[in-house]
Structure 1
Amino acid sequence: MQVGKDSDMRKIVACSLALVLLVSATDPSRPIFEDAVAVWSFADLADQAGVNSGLRAHGNVSLVDLEGNEAVMSKKRGGEGRAARFSSTSWLDAGQGVNDELNLSGKLITLYARVQANAVTDYAPVLTKSGNDQNLAYSIAFNRIGEAVYIEAKIGSDEIAGAHLLRYEVPAAELNAWHDVVFRFNGERSELYINGQLRDDEVTVGQIRDWNRRPLLIGAQYKKAYGYADVTQEDVEATFEGLIDIVALWNKSLPDDRIMELSQVSELADGRPTYYTEKYRPQFHFTAKKNWLNDPNGLVYYDGVYHLFFQYMPPHRPGAYKDWGHAISKDLVHWEQVPSHITPHKVWSGCWSGSAVVDVNNVAGFQTGEEKTIIAFITNGGNPGDGLGPLCTQCIAYSTDGGQTFTYYDQNPILTHIKHANRDPKVVWDEKSQKWIMSLFMDEGYEFGLFGSNNLKEWKHLSSFAIDGVRECPGFEPLPLDGDPNNRKWLFFGANGDYVIGSFDGTNFTPETEVLRGDYGVNYYAAMTWSDMPDDRCVSIAWMPTQRYPGMPFEQQMTFPTEVTLRTTADGVKAFRLPVGDIKNLYDQTYSWENQTIEKEHQWEVLDGDQYDMEFDLDVSQSSSFELILSDVTLSYDTKTQSIACSGPAMRNGIIPEDWVAQTAGEVNDRNNLGAAPLKPKDGKINLRILLDRNSIEVFGNGGEVVISSCFMPDEQHDTYGVRTAGKLRLIKADVHSLKSMWEVAN
């Protein structure tokens, strides 16, 4: 008798539990949606969050019952087992919602959509709150670009133009599957989850753009970027085809467990691409993990760490609204990109180029603990026509935690706009005058200005000067001549690498050389030097502007860091550059040859890779010319003209020319020009140091007296290494080191 009662009780408990589960699975007020701003699960067109953000249908939108497992999956996510079916001419709008609650604002947001696309032939919006990028609030969409289809999520910010974009390329086999799309932003970082896997993330700046008053659209977008258009066929493009099961919005960043519940997974997985192993990724030259990179910025050494900031452009931003991306290293070789960007400021706008120093004596007064303050000097570009900051002011941001976070100075700008697009502050310490010196491009011809300060916050104009043919991105600092610390000269260079050497009396700079060529390659720009180096070295790095390598997530790369020294030559004082000695940290196999005479040609069969540090000492006294064949690149020397030329599948100024010969007739040589330089033998001998990466070459002639830095498009058919000569070429000594990847610790 007792057994029967227990059995009946178990049945009652089981039925009760099943009922509870059924109710919780279909009740939108359950915890998964209890704090949503709005949620539509398409039992009808009402807002199941409990406020009146009801939907209006346009065109042939039908509400359909899902069947079988599709219905079960819908209910597990808090849906109704129903979905809205869209054709390419139908959509829904929700107006502004009660009290504009759909006009999300602040620095926290989560968007969720469970969606199944039938076909994607172009841009197909799932939900949109705004017009185009310039007044976008938030959106989720499918987007076809060429043969690829992406799921994209974007938010716009009042602090920048454009929008923040995250995307995931959908495998063709999964295009018509159901996708749980979650986009969340926590005030510093945005993330895109697809079916419980993190597919993309980005450092994200600013508050969500909340001044747009257009109705929220589901299944459509507005044709016009701005204005208060009516929601009619003439004003809207409805291009989504498929089913939408649930749409929900939160003005908070949902925690992981909520995303797991929405995606019906037991844990969140990292499904982002495996970066740094891509086909064309340089293996010992720095590149951003993804997206556009240009000028190096804010180079500073502090507490055992080298900091490399750089101009960084996430997609869907106009050029003026870049971040300072950020990478760190302990040896100038292995770099790790970190998320502590310096991002555009709402008042002063985008982060253009600049420099950084360590305020060792706390003259600016920002230090709060034991950590010394790192101060970044930034040209904030501005765009007054768009209401985003004044044009080109010099501002500072400071870090009191070793460069992990930066705070904008509340009394910015430290220099107001002077004229034109004055920009690119480089700050150094002058021991003689006991002042901080800022060099600044004035953007009038070739004019640069010098400014002085005692506290890094208040600056006084000292003098101005012009260097013919030199513009932008100044470098200005004292270096020992011939290694003598008591005999320093000032090196001044501009973005193209050209330089002069002279004297500085604390107010005026006096050039003592003519303008000299700093780099003879075709992919060298905007070099900058590290400040606060522990061993008094002067180390430089530059941007190598190139066309995007096809199919790669990154664009552009940096040169390898080089040490800069001033030396006296028979032709006067010159700046020399050589790769930093830390490159030895990448050495793998070493091959050496010496005392060989080559009369026609010779191949080095043991060389078959694409990453090398090579050094050749050559006697050219009995050779009229020779060529080093280095896989994709040929390095040629002409004894009569005493010049070296580099040729290969060129990438110059961002473009691969269709007919290089026609475009460069009379320039340097008649082949694919990667640069050429004068190189005089010394006692009949020349020295060549060559860094060869997958898609770049840097040639250092005679100890770095001349340098050629260029990029090329690699050809998989080329893997030959050797030499050809007209006459006898004596190889005095050659050391060739194959290099390991710098990215071993980056991912």
Structure 2
Amino acid sequence: MNDPNGMFIDAHGTYHLYYQYNPTGIVAGNQHWGHATSKDLYHWVNQQIAIFPPDAHSNIYSGSAVVDVDNTSGFFPHQNNGVVAVYTINTPTSQTQALSYSIDGGYTFRPYSGNPVLSDNSSQFRDPKVIWHAPTQQWVMAVAYAQALTLGFFTSPNLKDWEHVSNFSHHGLPGDQYECPNLVEIRMEGQKEPMYLLTISINPGAPLGGSITQYFPGFFNGTVFTPVDGAARISDFGKDNYAGQFFYGIPGDRDQISIAWTSNWQYSQLVPTGPSEGWRSSMSLPRVNYLKNLSRVGYDLVSVPYSLSPVINTTSSLVQKTIVGNGSVRLDYSSGASGALYFQINITDIPTANISGTANFTFLSSRSGESVRAGYFLAPDSAFFIDRGNTRGFDNPFFTDKFSTSCPYNSSASSYTWRVEGVIDRSILEVFIDGGESSATVTFFPEQELDTLVINAGDLNPGVTVSAAVHGLDSAWARVEDVDGTVLGNVTGHKAQERDTH
């Protein structure tokens, strides 16, 4: 699997996630739209393949989905929950935008007989993102002229007939091509009126190599997107967060929810996958997002995990709440069946001058000695790092092993606090710094499972306190495992019964 596609929430509170899917192999190709649904964004039901290629020479590439509540398309004369998917059909010579529509709430789709609905006679024109723009009462599509480093904006009254209205070109980091645009109305902290957020994924040509997503806070009047400034902003300082998409159907004055693909095109088709497992790649944690104006930084996209309450184990023996100080804490979590943890480290009463010290955490394998480590350097110009270089299950010249970001202090404060929280699973680490003001996603591939956490701090100023909390996470798939612990994908029973029981 790769890019998330067509994400929306329906009137019953069910989240629908479609995704780029090859049902016959573990590399990209033969692209379909896979489909999964969830009530809580952690427990997912694998649904049947939603959209198939029209012929043996075509692939269904990335796109989006909307709920046509007013039947502007004419596909749904007797309902208000019709779903329209807008996506790219890729052939060896062309990329065009097409529609399929669903009369059963997004579970099965019929291709529109008038496809394609948009073409520019190019092989590099893809990944439509469609939203409803209420002030102008029209549909808006952002679509990438990939190798021209341009997004085109189009409008339509009915999702079928599209008119070009503006372009957005050569902003931020150009990379080698633009992909997977997203446009969403989003809350700005301390501001009554929401703003807009435009994201553009670039691949190849990211600063660390391969693929990455950048974002632009700004304003949208229905035809033209205007960024607040010319700055380039990256959504993740790791290397494994790409093509993120926001769920359609969340009001603009609420925090928006996103999910991204956790890999990088430089090595995504080479990373290990067990021969008995038969799958490769996965999605990120669901993230809650809003905009904030930071001291010394300016506009920032804040991202934190969506509430982990459906999977966090508050009664687990792994729970630790302790003070580290200038010392260390060691935790054996090998008894956790899922191999996943939520952790939080807080540093308080950091002085405003002569700052010193470190606070680090390391996830170890007691069997092989392999590790993934990260840490924070307390200094006037503080920084945070991640190092995945001490895992031996995958070696590739583009599998960059070290990442870092700056953590500027609020210069008006009398003392400082700092916090990192994160989730580690068997092969993915996601961290969120200072309430999500910056975040990173990294994959790793040890030969033996990581099972030990060590948190340590040293050289801290007098009075500085370090506290930590760790919780085991339950497997989101435990209830659908078979007797061998295997979870089958895209194998479902009767859809109506499944919707009733889940």
TM-score scaled by structure 1? 0.55
Distance apart, 1:728 and its partner CA: 2.7
CA contact (8 A) 1:336 1:745 kept: no
CA-to-aligned-CA distance 1:428-481 (integer Å, 9 cap, x gap): 122222221111111234211111111111111110012232520011122121
**Alignment-mate amino acid for residue 494 of structure 1:** I
Residues 413/371 of structure 1: CA separation in 2 closer, same or farther (3 Å cut): same
Structure 1 residue identity aligned to 2:257? V
CA distance in 1, matches of 2:221, 2:476: 42
Taking structure 1 as reference, are residues 325 and 639 closer, same or farther at Cα in structure 2, changes over 3 Å only? same
The DSSP-based 3-state class of the residue aligned with 1:432 is helix
SS of residue matched to 2:309? helix
Which of 408, 426, 446 does residue 714 from structure 1 map onto?
A: 446
Q: Is residue 320–residue 352 contact of structure 1 (8 Å, CA) maintained in 2?
A: no
**Aligned match of 1:253:** none
1:297 aligns with 2:33: no
465-474 or 700-709, which moves further after superposition? Answer: 465-474
Separation (CA, whole Å) in 2 of partners of 1:599 and 1:736: 19
* Structure 1 unmatched ranges of 5 or more: 1-292, 385-390, 665-671
In the aligned structure 2, how far is the partner of 1:499 from the partner of 1:421?
21
Aligned 8 A contact 2:71 2:80 in 1: no
2-structure distance, mates of 1:628, 1:530: 33
- Equivalent residue, structure 2, for 1:414: 117
SS at match of 2:187: strand
**1:501 aligns to what?**
217
Match of 1:543 among 261, 266, 276: 261
Equivalent residue number for residue 293 of structure 2? 568
C-alpha displacement at 1:734, in angstroms? 3.0
- Conserved? CA contact 1:295–1:542, under 8 Å: yes
Alpha-carbon spacing, 1:602–1:372, altered in 2? closer, same or farther (3 Å):
closer
In 2 relative to 1, CA 630–608 (structure 1 residues): closer, same or farther, beyond 3 Å?
Answer: farther
Q: Is the 8 A contact 1:600 1:727 kept in 2?
A: no
**Structure 1: how far apart are the matches of 2:198 and 2:346?**
31
Contact residue 360 and residue 372 of structure 1 kept, 8 A = yes
Partner of 1:468: 172
Q: Output one character per residue of 1:232-267: Cα deviation in whole Å (capped at 9) or x when no partner.
A: xxxxxxxxxxxxxxxxxxxxxxxxxxxxxxxxxxxx
Residue 219 of structure 2 is aligned to residue 510 of structure 1? no
- Larger RCO: Structure 1 or Structure 2 (Cα < 8 Å, ≥ 6 residues apart)? 2
Indicate yes or no: 2:373 matched with 1:634: yes
More helix by share: 1
The 2-side partners of 1:717 and 1:456 are apart by: 49
Alpha-carbon separation, structure 1, partners of 2:74 and 2:450: 58
Quote the residue 1:743 is aligned against: 477
Q: Which has the larger radius of gyration?
A: 1
Match of 2:340 among 611, 633, 647: 611
Whether the 8 Å contact between 2:325 and 2:467 is mirrored in structure 1 is no
Which residue of structure 2 lines up, in the alignment, with residue 129 of structure 1? none
Structure 2, gaps ≥5 residues long: 202-211, 365-370, 481-486, 488-502
1:601-634, Cα deviation, whole Å (9 max, x unpaired): 3323578643112222113556422311233321
> Can you list the C-alpha shifts for 1:617-674, whole angstroms capped at 9, x where unaligned?
113556422311233321121223411111124799xx933678xx86xxxxxxx32x
How many correspondences in the alignment?
Answer: 434
Residue 95 of structure 2, aligned match among 364, 370, 392: 392
Runs (4+) of structure 1 exceeding 6 A deviation are none
Which residue does the alignment assign to 1:725? 457
Give 1:140's aligned residue. Answer: none
Matches within 5 A, 1:10-159: none
1:647 corresponds to: 387
Q: TM-score, normalised by structure 2?
A: 0.80
User: Can you list the C-alpha shifts for 1:562-612, whole angstroms capped at 9, x where unaligned?
Assistant: 01101121121211101111x211011352425x25224332357864311
User: Between the two proteins, what is the percent identity of the paired residues?
Assistant: 28
Amino acid at match of 1:736: V
- Note closer, same or farther for the CA distance 1:317–1:346 as it changes in structure 2 (3 Å cut): farther
Q: State the distance in 1 between where 2:84 and 2:272 align.
A: 33
Match of 1:677 among 405, 410, 413: 405
Query: Counterparts in 2 of 1:242-261, with a 5 A limit?
Result: none
3-state SS of 1:526 partner: strand
Determine helix, strand or coil for the equivalent of 1:709.
strand
The AA in structure 2 aligned to 1:629 is T
Q: Distance in 2 between matches of 1:606 and 1:501?
A: 41
Which of 227, 230, 237 in structure 2 is aligned with 1:520? Answer: 237
Q: Is the 8 A contact 1:650 1:713 kept in 2?
A: no
Residue by residue over 1:261-300, the C-alpha shift from the partner in whole angstroms, topping out at 9 and shown as x without a partner, is xxxxxxxxxxxxxxxxxxxxxxxxxxxxxxxx00000101
Query: What's the counterpart of residue 202 of structure 1?
Result: none
Partner of 2:74: helix, strand, or coil? coil
CA RMSD of aligned residues (A): 2.6
- For residue 489 of structure 1, the aligned residue among 195, 206, 209 is 195
Secondary structure of the 2:310 match is helix
